[in-house]
Structure 1
């Protein structure tokens, strides 16, 4: 790749993004070798090819610590319902998609009934009226439940005869089993196309690294290897988490980690997150536990034996308490071999769990966009949990005060792959005392994911010896009003010092 000089920029690095750290830098191969001011005027660099960055603010490229990468790509090939405003709108979108695509399945994604005028999910009969002749599978936005039409119900009865509709949707174990089977049967060519669309979408938003949580109930081992091989290609970087309790594939591929969304519980939206008191809008349930204490202890021991970092999903206070207890017990039993395990989400922790997570050296992969979409006194969290518990969700400032490391992520396709939306969520938390500074928010989406993956000495900074993944912005994030952070966009993207052509960006779903 040779050596190139980049100049005429306001280069920023962390932890102080407000002040220029350099205005020019040199990249050799894919690594930064020199940073400074006015390097273009130095005789040592006068013969280098050079790139004028036009006065842009330059930041290290973004990373997303929690992405279901294959599923994200599949949403771009399916029927997107994230902007639907009513049940009629949902049905119109299904009809329109069915008219344009001849697939056996109509896969629809990101339905959030709390955003619909009627505040409820569609029924099987309503979907039948929109698409009567093909199978329809509508995934709720949290990927913890789905609504079928009658054709899909008949399929479900064939592949999983004990599956039971709950108020016209599948959830809990039935959803997991059916969705796993559906994913397994999708054509390989469709999955390959989906991966490319997901990559392009990331690059268009300045994301050059993803933590891809793949497999398990959501895909087969072949799918995991398909994703891993795709992410190993030049021009993008992926850290694969195999969502399995079997370490064989991770050991064969040399991945020092296991898990991802290995679920201890479910989600608030589907009322399956495990709570110590019933849901405010459905007192008949307090959620569900998928893995008990014995199961969790066994997984911690397994990872200690194989030298693997473990990542597990816990949202409700009961699930978090159980997982933190298992992690603390692991540290007492195995010492340093049990440090640094991840907890995905960690949304409603008790003070005891927060202290215990810090004691166990747990690392928290959090999704601040959840608060943008569902936080606050009038949104879904308040309806599901009641106002008092809703004020305690995602207590980012409290977590940082206890010394816990936070890595920002989207949980895409649950929320969009958009680091600025996540940064906005950190800085504008509906509970003011839980807000982070802009510098902390940027660190969570630039530095922390690489530290979680053991790559903190190679990625996440614009310093000599680091990979030259960086983005150019026309607007300075430090000068943008806090409530406008979500409007920021990247102007140019470089991976290993090579500019990504704009036509490689996926700007809109296919």
Structure 2
């Protein structure tokens, strides 16, 4: 923040309260004035926008910063389309590493392969020259590991989800993940975290919600990230997902005791807890639930005792039903109004029906959702259809229905599960595979900006808008497809072109400003 005033003029401002505004004065970290450029007051400095679009900066409501930094600087496997390609990528990457290093990679997705069979532990070890290998699947709920990593974690053989092939799920995955990530020194972690937060700023994201916890990161990882918040990069609001861990979450500096507190797993790993068996799984296979309704209730009561917002990761409808039963149990003790006032969250909320959506309304639950999930895996022929069948797949990620009945939506990426790509996420919500779940650009944009602030505990009424007195947190964009009603054109005029093949270019970030301080700029300031 700086006390010097800066006038940004000659732009298109997303300011519904004053559509004629083409200039904005920033002083003391806040917006001091908005209006036509011809009426602008004097300023210490003037920035000519040259017709660029100015909007509130994005908030990404679900990220994993260290893993994102690894994906940006390490072995990215999102483009491999076979076991052979994966092995070749591991071999090429491992050649550059010392013999004692661990090969860390992310993003392989066997549902996109013609033959969805990954290499086994022995094959990975040979490709990596005998090194330890940890490769997280796109969902981050399973991983491929080498024999050397299995040997480094002998306790894993007794854990649920272990498979001698080296494709590990559930508790076995958590065990090897802790060993693999524990090999990354703190100094390297900080570099990875700073890279992730700087990258967020470069795509117009000024704030992120980090979802940490004992099975997804570590206390040291979590606190080191919080220490970087807003230091020339995007700011961080941390959630610590540990059962009955509200006091610990508060002591670690978290804003909430939730995030990735797992009620179930993921659809990609067939560990999301669903009420009907998986279409492509073993007979009767319905995934895995980690929490009972009683555990959810007790966690919410613990949050109430310590004055903390709570939350859960829940993807499958059976897991979400258990979570809502826990909400009902907490309401029986505390009263529904007190439960509602806490603004608890559920992350993902992918498989929902009307009754479950009604539960979100009843208990005031915030839905932290990822529109890119539908873009990447939805529709009649995507991974969801393979796992659930086409009809259930089209009903997944019902963000339009939830928005329509007043559920607070907060959009994010779950990066590195999907990339930090906020306009891509807005477009995904607008172009949902199920037309009944599509949102307007304005509604989806609000979910990815103001929605992220509304999802935090406490009141943030001035955040996420361009208005006098509001924090000067905004982004400047080139919008090659044009601007309509203060927002960029994101979709082709012909709906037949919607989806991954839509040729409409997305906006490009020119600058991101956080409370008056520039945290990213490219050729503008």
Taking structure 2 as the reference length, the TM-score comes to 0.90
Q: In the TM superposition, what are the counterparts of 1:281-430 in structure 2 within 5 Å?
A: 281-284=280-283, 285-335=285-335, 336-339=337-340, 340-430=343-433
Q: 2:142 maps to what in 1? A: 145
Q: Distance in 2 between matches of 1:58 and 1:129?
A: 51
Task: Please give the per-residue CA displacement for 1:367-426, whole angstroms capped at 9, x wherever unaligned.
Answer: 100000000111100000011211110111111122111110101111001101211110
The yes-or-no answer on 1:444 pairing with 2:454 is no
Task: Please give the per-residue CA displacement for 1:219-276, whole angstroms capped at 9, x wherever unaligned.
Answer: 2212211111111535431111112232233333564421111011111110001111
The yes-or-no answer on 1:87 pairing with 2:83 is yes
Name the SS for the 1:26 alignment partner: strand
Deviation at 1:365, TM superposition (A): 0.1
Q: 1:508 maps to what in 2? A: none
Equivalent residues, number: 497
Deviation at 1:171, TM superposition (A): 0.5
Deviation at 1:200, TM superposition (A): 1.6
**Which of 131, 135, 157 lines up with 2:132 in the alignment?**
135
Q: 1:38 maps to what in 2? A: 37
In structure 2, relative to structure 1, the CA distance for the partners of 1:254 and 1:465 (3 Å cut) is: farther
Q: Distance in 1 between matches of 2:127 and 2:253?
A: 47
Q: 2:5 maps to what in 1? A: 3
Q: Contact between 2:296 and 2:323, CA under 8 Å: does it hold in 1?
A: yes
Deviation at 1:161, TM superposition (A): 4.8
Q: Distance in 2 between matches of 1:458 and 1:480?
A: 26
Q: Contact between 1:13 and 1:60, CA under 8 Å: does it hold in 2?
A: no
Q: 2:509 maps to what in 1? A: 490
Task: Please give the per-residue CA displacement for 1:293-351, whole angstroms capped at 9, x wherever unaligned.
Answer: 22111101111111211110111110011111212332342133322110101110122
Name the SS for the 2:11 alignment partner: strand
Q: 2:219 maps to what in 1? A: 221
In structure 2, relative to structure 1, the CA distance for the partners of 1:373 and 1:366 (3 Å cut) is: same
RMSD between aligned alpha carbons? 2.1
Q: Distance in 2 between matches of 1:327 and 1:256?
A: 20
Taking structure 1 as the reference length, the TM-score comes to 0.92
Q: Distance in 2 between matches of 1:249 and 1:185?
A: 24
Q: Distance in 1 between matches of 2:183 and 2:85?
A: 29
Q: 1:77 maps to what in 2? A: 73
Q: 1:499 maps to what in 2? A: 518
For structure 2, list consecutive stretches of 5 or more residues without a partner in the other structure: 493-497
Q: Distance in 2 between matches of 1:320 and 1:25?
A: 44
Task: Please give the per-residue CA displacement for 1:33-88, whole angstroms capped at 9, x wherever unaligned.
Answer: 1111125x45xx23532111111111111110011112211222321101112222
Q: Contact between 1:132 and 1:151, CA under 8 Å: does it hold in 2?
A: no
Q: 2:464 maps to what in 1? A: 460
Q: 2:53 maps to what in 1? A: 57
Q: Distance in 1 between matches of 2:226 and 2:476?
A: 28
Q: Distance in 2 between matches of 1:21 and 1:227?
A: 40
Q: Contact between 2:250 and 2:308, CA under 8 Å: does it hold in 1?
A: no
